[in-house]
Amino acid sequence: MKKVVSFIRGDVTGDRIADNVYLTGIKTPNSPFIQDITLVVQDIIQPFI
């Protein structure tokens, strides 16, 4: 089962709004390595008020 390995907030889409960036993967038992790594960027859209 994939789990979040790391998380950070920062502007990666260039819209000057901080996005959520997740690194997910499967921790290998008895090893420092992570398999099946996926990078997920959640683009935060700020509503116009």
Instruction: Note whether residue 20 is domain-resident.
Output: yes
Give residue 25's domain range.
Answer: 3-42
Two tokens, residue 17? 């709004």
Instruction: Note whether residue 49 is domain-resident.
Output: no
Instruction: Note whether residue 47 is domain-resident.
Output: no
> What is the edge-to-edge ordering of all strands in the sheet holding 3-10?
3-10, 19-27, 34-42
Residue 3 clears pLDDT 90, i.e. is over it = yes
Which pLDDT belongs to residue 44? Answer: 85
What total number of domains does the chain contain?
A: 1
pTM metric for this prediction: 0.78
Instruction: Note whether residue 27 is domain-resident.
Output: yes
pLDDT tens sequence across 10-48: 999 898 899 999 999 999 899 999 999 999 999 988 777
Instruction: Note whether residue 32 is domain-resident.
Output: yes
Instruction: Note whether residue 48 is domain-resident.
Output: no
Instruction: Note whether residue 9 is domain-resident.
Output: yes
Two tokens, residue 26? 């499967």
Which pLDDT belongs to residue 19? Answer: 95
Instruction: Note whether residue 26 is domain-resident.
Output: yes
Which pLDDT belongs to residue 37? Answer: 97
Distance CA(35)–CA(3), nearest Å, equals: 11
